[in-house]
Amino acid sequence: MNNFSAALNAYIEQVREWGQREVRRAGLEADRNGAPLPPDHPYFAAYVDFRRRHPVPADDGAVPEGPAVRMAAINEENAYWDRGMGVAAPGPGLPAPIVTAAGTPEQRERFLGPFRGTDIPRWGSFALTEPSGGSDTAAFRTRATRTDRGYLLNGAKCFIGNAARADWVLVQANLDPEKGRAGQRSFFVERGNRGMTGIKIEKKMGLRAYESVSFILEDCEVPHDNILGGERPERTSKSSAYGATMGTLNTTRVGVAASAVGLARSAYDEALNFATQSGAFKSIRVRDRLEVMYRQLRAAWLMTLRAAWKADNRIPNIVDASMAKVFAAETAQDLASAGMEIVGLEAGAGHHLVEKLFRDAKALNIVEGTGQIQRIIMARNLVGLPR
């Protein structure tokens, strides 16, 4: 299903062997427990060791594909084995490209440096979503106020990945509400800050393998040098701090789309294997259903790769990224639902992997910008929907 270089395919094969041996088993354990694996679970130390022996390909020319296409290919394979364990994996995670793009040199070293070459599982986290406005940044209520000692953050965040185990959480807050979105900045809140309270790990129907954390910011004080990009971000970034953050999300949304394709491929393979082994494949209706599933899966993957290719070639891809995110997430839901119908009673009883995939798939239409938000973004760019 791809025409990647030999170097990238060799790396994907390593990810596949790791996923088959460790990731799916760990994901099923977390799902059965109804909670993420604890930070000291042996899986995470083994993961850090795997990453040290098999680092993600860098921009050194060894893998000719660009970073966005590489990320899409790796995310797709990871999510095939378990999307939740992919998010739970130790590392700086989603905020890493944001800090790299918009942070000062000192912040990049201070907050990303500890993740390099470490034997200890550690996490970073990015807090965007709020209880009152979801991922609609125009509705954000979290405020930042400058003081002589630094900044005071007040507000609430919800469903934030890995926030309870992270060394630091990069929190999005509005420093100047009169400027609307342009007044938003990001702040590093380090573990143990007493202003970060009410920490609660949410119960979820799917993707139970990673923490989704809600918390309150109550006069949460951070020093002046914890504002991303410094107090004068124009000296460290060509775009606004808000623009740098949102621009990074256009790329990470492609990664979510790729994860949705991986989950959808897993649902397709499970349905195909069941139909073949049970004899259901003899039914023309089942064969027709599988053909439609494969066609939708291929379309979602090609749409995702197009958005990634545009990112690598510095071609504006905001519509492509939103389109891929919406279509791939819907594909994951459609294929998991079709898989439930093909597997039938065994799936309904909760004894088959496709039932877990059915519960996992819904979240992909929500995280990092809901399907509704993506449709608004597309409408603004395609038909001039007013802001």
The helix or strand, by DSSP H or E, that contains position 191, with its residue range, turns out to be none
Token output for 176: 């100047």
- Distances, alpha carbon 267 to alpha carbons 82, 175, 379, in Å: 11, 44, 31
Angle, helix 241-278 to helix 353-361, in steps of 10 degrees: 150
Exposure string over 200-225, b if 16+ CB within 10 A, otherwise e: eeeebebbbbbbbbbbbbeebebeee
Whether 94 and 87 have beta carbons less than 8 Å apart is answered as: no
Phi, psi of 222 (to 5 degrees): -130, 150
Active site residue 22: no
d(CA 92, CA 110): 12
Which member of 76, 211, 270, 368 is catalytic? 368
Whether 178 and 237 have beta carbons less than 8 Å apart is answered as: no
d(CA 147, CA 301): 48
d(CA 209, CA 27): 6
Whether 177 and 116 have beta carbons less than 8 Å apart is answered as: no
d(CA 272, CA 260): 18
d(CA 35, CA 38): 9
- The SS3 call for residue 91 is strand
d(CA 169, CA 161): 10
Q: What is the dihedral of CA 167, 172, 173, 177, to 10 degrees?
A: 170
State whether the Cα torsion 216-219-220-224 is positive or negative.
positive
* Catalytic positions: 368
